[in-house]
């Protein structure tokens, strides 16, 4: 099992737009093969700083989701809301 930490910094004032798109992306991930769980977090001192922590059965499952057309379509909607490119960290126990 692996965990994936995604860090996103939003462009100022776009949090409400981001929330809807991020929920949709996570909902689609729930349906991906190998997805175990996911949570979203917001920095308490900076509301434009968001995190997604997901757990996947294997690195291969994550990579298939990451490269999927579904995720690419979702990121095409999310990217304009971000101040910079998302940062992804792969973690294992």
CATH number of the domain within which 12 lies: 3.30.70.100
Report H helices in the chain.
15-30, 59-66, 69-78
Q: Are strands 2-9 and 87-92 parallel, antiparallel or unpaired?
A: antiparallel
Mean pLDDT of the chain: 92
Q: Say if CB 5 and CB 55 are below 8 A apart.
A: no
pLDDT tens for each residue of 47-61 = 899 999 999 999 999
Mean pLDDT of 3-26: 88
Q: How far apart are CA 15 and CA 92, in angstroms?
A: 30
């809807």: which residue's tokens?
20
Residue 17 tokens read as 């737009």
pLDDT the model gives residue 62 = 97
Residue 67 tokens read as 């490269």
Number of domains forming the structure of the chain: 1
Closest CA to 35 of 55, 20, 49: 55
What is the residue range of 46's domain? 2-92
pLDDT tens for each residue of 61-88 = 999 999 999 999 999 999 999 999 999 9
CA 14 to chain centre: 16
């Amino acid at each position: 099992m692996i965990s994936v930490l995604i860090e996103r910094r939003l462009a100022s004032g776009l949090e409400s737009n981001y929330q809807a798109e991020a929920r949709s992306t996570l909902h689609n991930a729930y349906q991906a093969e190998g997805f175990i769980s996911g949570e979203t977090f917001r920095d308490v001192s900076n509301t434009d700083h968001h995190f997604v922590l997901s757990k996947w059965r294997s690195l291969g499952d994550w990579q298939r989701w990451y490269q999927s057309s579904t995720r690419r379509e979702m990121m095409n909607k999310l990217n304009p809301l971000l101040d910079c490119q998302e940062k992804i960290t792969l973690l294992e126990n």
